[in-house]
Amino acid sequence: MIIGSALVIGAVALIELAGRSLIDKTQFSTDLKNIVIAIVESLVAVTCYVVLFRYYEKRKIRELSASTFLKNAMTGFFMGLILQSVFILIIYLAGDFAIAQVNPLSYLLPAFAFSFTAGFVAEILLRGILFRLTEEKTGTIPALIIFTLLFGILHVNSKGATAVSVCATAIQAGLMLSAIYVYSRSLWLPVFLHFAWDFAEPGIYGGINPGISTEKSLLYSKITGSYILTGGEAGPGNSVQSAILCLITSLLFLWLAKRKGNFIKPWWKK
């Protein structure tokens, strides 16, 4: 875990520093520079993971198989997009979401760059290294419990945190994305779900996403009302409907994973 995490983080940080200094010398626009850096960082993170674990574990890296890329990438992307759209729809039906202005498509670019890096790098680290190795040692159920509790604890003191937002984050990042990985045994699915989730919330709908810093969005929107439905300072992705829908999604994928025989026995039964 330590070696893998250090390698991925170090390589991405090197690209951010060295790559940024090089590309800043070009005449590219700021948005294009950010997209190029995001793509390179994502490729480097995937390459580091594949090379390290192919050498260390002496196996094919099936969780990043090229043959399953298109299917799982599309499934993950549309899942993330649909989930965020449903959260916004519920806020709209409650009368708390209004579109003040529709901006040019170019306003999507900043969120695209930030969320692309977040999807790839975060899921390579969290699901590919930390969750996968924890699951192998402890079993599927203990690993899911550990990750769900961990994400809840880590976000207790985050800006604008409420009981609803903490529960929603624990379910989304700790349980749902892990459950999807257990079902598919592919990192492409959680990677692209994470990417679409982070892209749609601020980039398309103009909602708050604590992990994405961008002032541009396709829709300039006004979100008002109770933090329970809107997520407050934590954004629509941390609303009560998010917690409920993501819990249902998690349980569905865990049920399917169990049927496929994808659960790893807990350590005390091995």
Burial of residue 262 (number of CB atoms within 10 Å: 0-12, 13-18, 19+): middle
Q: State the number of CA atoms in the 13 A half-sphere of 173 facing the CB.
A: 25
Confidence bin at 134 (pLDDT 50/70/90) = very high
Q: State the number of CA atoms in the 13 A half-sphere of 204 facing the CB.
A: 16
| The pLDDT value given to residue 212 | 75
| The pLDDT value given to residue 233 | 86
Integer-rounded Cα radius of gyration of the chain? 19
Q: What is the torsional sign of CA 87, 92, 94, 95?
A: positive
**Residue 269: is its pLDDT beyond 80?**
no
- Alpha carbon distance 189, 172 (integer Å): 14
Confidence bin at 46 (pLDDT 50/70/90) = very high
**Residue 103: is its pLDDT beyond 80?**
yes
Specify the DSSP element, H or E, that contains 257: helix 240-260
| The pLDDT value given to residue 234 | 87
- Alpha carbon distance 137, 60 (integer Å): 20
Say how many C-beta atoms besides its own lie within 10 A of residue 198's C-beta: 25
Of the chain, the percentage scoring pLDDT greater than 90 comes to: 81
**Residue 141: is its pLDDT beyond 80?**
yes
Q: What is the mean pLDDT of residues 203-228?
A: 87
Q: Which residue has the tokens 């519920």?
A: 90
Specify the DSSP element, H or E, that contains 97: strand 97-102
**Residue 49: is its pLDDT beyond 90?**
yes
Q: Which residue has the tokens 């893998």?
A: 4
> 195 or 211: whose pLDDT is higher?
195
- The pLDDT mean for the chain works out to 93
Q: What is the mean pLDDT of residues 160-187?
A: 94
Is residue 178 within 8 A of residue 144, CB to CB? The reply is yes
Report which of 76, 66, 63 is spatially closest to residue 135, judged by C-alpha positions: 63
The domain limits of the chain are 67-269
**Residue 26: is its pLDDT beyond 90?**
no
| The pLDDT value given to residue 268 | 80
| The pLDDT value given to residue 136 | 94
- At 196, list the tokens: 């679409």
Is residue 181 within 8 A of residue 127, CB to CB? The reply is yes
